[in-house]
Amino acid sequence: MTRVTHFETARDAANAIGAKSGRPSHDVAVVLGSGWAPAAERLGSGVDIAMTDLPGFPPPTVAGHAGVVRSIDVDGHGVLVLVGRVHLYEGHPVAHVVHGVRTAVSAGCRAIVLTNAAGGVDPSLSVGQPVLIADHLNLSGQNPLAGPDVEDRFVDLSDVYSARLRALARDVDPSLVESVYAMFTGPSYETKAEVRMAATLGAGLVGMSTALEAIAARHLGAEVLGLSLVTNPAAGVASTPIHHGEVVAAGRAAADRLGELLLAIVRRALQ
């Protein structure tokens, strides 16, 4: 029996999206992280496809992740919006975590916008503030390019977050600041010592996603833009315990503003 690779499954999922949406290809994908789901409505309506109706997609199990792929039209271009993602801490292998972005690239997307909820390590960052990801620290101990199915695995990540796309985002909103994002595996929030370590290594943000997807997208030649929403101060910076509910609530409170920002950035990226 011939073994099906993760990349072949992504192509099958992309073909299924094309058939279900009536659009054979898409140009840009947006992955909405914890708390970002309400912003999807500002991007526009379209054809909603349950992730579980597509090959290779496991159902998300975390509050704030709807598990829907939405195909929308933005200025005559196809845009895929992944409302939710799965994480390592849900017990999924790395290939499942990055399946969404591999599917998006297989569907024709040459730019991937990755969003997330993040804890603010840098005390100058405020709750509700969107921050461009300039670079990341992959502290998960995992890499989507490991394994027997990956060709051309030695990818240069010095430009993992596109300078061109970051410049476009700053044109849209000159107030956007940049920071380094540190990915931990989770699901527990970081300890004070881990946050101090991340700060010593140069991180201003901490979270539990994004880095693996960015690596997978760059491996396939897509440009990546990372955008974090600061939903809480990180451990040691926060004066009170951290709860996931406040993460979702912070995203809901900023939904309209974040949606408008994303739409403006996507429009610029499509030009």
User: Which one of 8, 89, 92, 238 is the catalytic residue?
Assistant: 89
Which of 263, 96, 250 minimizes the C-alpha distance to 173? 263
Does the annotation count 232 as an active-site position?
A: yes
Does the annotation count 26 as an active-site position?
A: no
Does the annotation count 188 as an active-site position?
A: no
Does the annotation count 143 as an active-site position?
A: no
User: Which one of 16, 39, 51, 87 is the catalytic residue?
Assistant: 87
User: Which one of 29, 117, 118, 254 is the catalytic residue?
Assistant: 117
131 vs 129: CA distance, rounded Å: 6
Does the annotation count 203 as an active-site position?
A: no
How many CB atoms sit inside 10 A of residue 128's CB? Answer: 14
User: Which one of 15, 77, 90, 264 is the catalytic residue?
Assistant: 90
Cα distances (Å, whole numbers) of residue 146 to 55, 65, 88: 22, 27, 15
43 vs 60: CA distance, rounded Å: 21
Q: If DSSP codes are grouped into helix, strand and coil, which group holds residue 259? A: helix
User: Which one of 208, 217, 235, 250 is the catalytic residue?
Assistant: 208
User: Which one of 209, 211, 222, 269 is the catalytic residue?
Assistant: 209
Ramachandran category for residue 221: left, alpha or beta (phi over 0 → left; psi -120 to 50 → alpha): left
User: Which one of 244, 246, 249, 260 is the catalytic residue?
Assistant: 244
User: Which one of 65, 96, 99, 219 is the catalytic residue?
Assistant: 65
Residue type (1 letter), 262: L
Answer for the pair 229, 252: CB distance below 8 angstroms, yes or no.
no
Which of 77, 59, 78 minimizes the C-alpha distance to 20? 78
Expressed in angstroms, the distance from the first to the final Cα of the chain is: 45
User: Which one of 34, 106, 138, 179 is the catalytic residue?
Assistant: 34
Does the annotation count 65 as an active-site position?
A: yes
Does the annotation count 136 as an active-site position?
A: no
201 vs 197: CA distance, rounded Å: 6
User: Which one of 6, 162, 232, 234 is the catalytic residue?
Assistant: 232
User: Catalytic positions, please?
Assistant: 34, 65, 87, 89-90, 117, 208-209, 232, 244
